[in-house]
Amino acid sequence: MSMKKKIFAIFGPILISAVLLIAFFFAPFKIDLDSKRVLADASTSMATNVLRGNAIKNKAIGSKEYVPFFGSSELSRISPFHPTVLAEKYDRNYRPFLLGAPGTQSLTQALMMQSMGKNLAHKKVVFIISPQWFVKDGVTNDYFNAYYSELQTYQWVSDLEKVTDDDRYLAERLMDFPKVKEDKRLDRALKAIISGELPSSSDKQYINLMLNMFSREDELFGKIGMVNKDKAIRKAEKRLPATYNVSALDQLATEIGQKSTNNNPFEISNPFYDKRVKKKLKSLENSQTNWDYRFSPEFSDLQLVLSQLAQDNAEVLFIIPPVNKHWTDFTGLSQEMLQGFAKKVKYQLTTQGFNNIADFTKDCDTQYFMADTIHLGWRGWLAADQRIQPFLETSSTKVPSYHLDGSFYSKEWQQKAPADLK
């Protein structure tokens, strides 16, 4: 083998990789963000790449058309009373952009919001707070990993000009997850932030390089995994009357709820009952007597969300869904504990100026309010719509006034008993 061939055998693959990488970065093609179709599909897809990316969601949220609906699994169930279906059918002046999926909690949502930059400024926002996020250890490692966005994390570090309490808390919280600590440069940058300093210039250079790479990747591949839900939305729309009339719609919601939950005594939708509950019924009885949502790091993760919303001067409607009482009677989950949880969350919101709250936790035994054990159903979404529509369709006259309190980041607050609140 000649010397030239030997050198090429060693360095050729590296050279080819480098050329391909350069081509990848400078290729002219990317997602067509001016396409109405792309944004419409993304608005209901709840695809992981859309949630972890920036290009598509930021373009949509920056537009006048879409309103961010932050939440988790309740948003994924399309029914005639889903916010997207009602907005389409009755041609409202907004369209929901669904930002969440099963397992997205406050930490993921806060990073997502931060990555939106000015696109979220002065926007109206709907935020659904699920009681079951507030378990003893907060978001699980698996759920965190599923939606962790390197792009959004690098962007936050790259944009830092001075370290605040929010940044310190976020850095500390991210260090709870092995996936984050695997990245040695990021790990070092986070340690600097925790001690109140900006990352070193060499770490900053690395972070900016990675940020460029992930941004490019997002521009090229952000659409992957998007599922068009048009068919399901059209089908759901067909079941609705031509004009919006609350009592007629409530009657329809009751009829659909009745038919959809007739194979079990819990008012749980039939397929959910068959797939998730039926076979395990015996083991589920009294299985939740010790579950408690009053003490959790999630309260401080939620504070990150509130801080971001306040910085953006966003106007927010918070929705707190109930947990199905037929089900909690069976599993032993305490409705009294859930009222304590609601009291604590509402205290955290209202003391900081977030006063627009639709608390449905007392509707736990309203018929067909829930679609299953924990997700809003037919009458539940209709009740939520009574708050969502006027909030989104009425233009505001006054700028929201928020006053943030850093003590909500403390372990003391996470463990505070609702009974001790004034």
User: What is the pLDDT, as a whole number, of residue 404?
Assistant: 98
CA distances from 115 to 29, 119, 263, 343 (A): 23, 9, 45, 30
Exposed / middle / buried, residue 275 (Cβ in 10 Å: 0-12, 13-18, 19+) = exposed
H/E stretch holding 383: helix 378-393
Is residue 169 a part of any domain in this protein? no
The answer to whether the CB of 203 falls within 8 A of the CB of 190 is no
Mean pLDDT (the chain, rounded): 94
- pTM of the predicted model as reported, rounded to 2 decimal places: 0.94
- Is residue 30 scored above 90 in pLDDT? no
User: What is the pLDDT, as a whole number, of residue 5?
Assistant: 67
| CA distance linking residue 302 with residue 180, whole number of Å | 20
| CA distance linking residue 71 with residue 101, whole number of Å | 7
- Three-class DSSP category at 358: strand
Is residue 187 a part of any domain in this protein? no
User: What is the pLDDT, as a whole number, of residue 395?
Assistant: 87
Is residue 195 a part of any domain in this protein? no
Residue 395 DSSP class: P
Q: Is the model more confident about 422 or about 125?
A: 125
- Is residue 24 scored above 70 in pLDDT? no
User: What is the pLDDT, as a whole number, of residue 1?
Assistant: 66
The answer to whether the CB of 299 falls within 8 A of the CB of 413 is yes
List the helix and strand counts (H, then E) for the chain: 21, 5
- Provide the pLDDT confidence category of residue 398 given band limits of 50, 70 and 90: confident
Segment 170-184, tens digit of pLDDT:
999 999 999 999 999
User: What is the pLDDT, as a whole number, of residue 94?
Assistant: 96
CATH of the domain at 367: 3.40.50.1110
| CA distance linking residue 297 with residue 112, whole number of Å | 19
- Provide the pLDDT confidence category of residue 28 given band limits of 50, 70 and 90: low
Is residue 15 a part of any domain in this protein? no
43-59 average pLDDT score: 96
- Is residue 337 scored above 90 in pLDDT? yes
User: What is the pLDDT, as a whole number, of residue 155?
Assistant: 98
Give the count of domains, the chain. 1
Is residue 235 a part of any domain in this protein? yes
- Is residue 223 scored above 70 in pLDDT? yes
| CA distance linking residue 127 with residue 125, whole number of Å | 6
Q: Which of 233, 70, 60, 36 is nearest to 147 (CA)?
A: 70
Segment 349-359, tens digit of pLDDT:
999 999 999 99
| CA distance linking residue 116 with residue 187, whole number of Å | 23
Is residue 156 a part of any domain in this protein? no
Segment 251-297, tens digit of pLDDT:
999 999 999 999 999 999 999 999 999 999 999 999 999 999 999 99
The answer to whether the CB of 130 falls within 8 A of the CB of 71 is yes
- Is residue 3 scored above 80 in pLDDT? no
H/E stretch holding 357: strand 357-359
Q: How many CA atoms lie within 13 A of 362 on its CB side?
A: 3
| CA distance linking residue 381 with residue 246, whole number of Å | 12
User: What is the pLDDT, as a whole number, of residue 29?
Assistant: 61
- Provide the pLDDT confidence category of residue 21 given band limits of 50, 70 and 90: low
Is residue 312 a part of any domain in this protein? yes
Is residue 188 a part of any domain in this protein? no
Question: Going by C-beta distance under 8 Å and a sequence separation of 6 or more, which residues neighbour residue 271?
Answer: none
- Domain residues for 328? 29-146+228-422
Q: What are the respective helix, strand and coil percentages of the chain, to the nearest 5?
A: 60, 5, 35
User: What is the pLDDT, as a whole number, of residue 183?
Assistant: 95
H/E stretch holding 316: strand 315-320
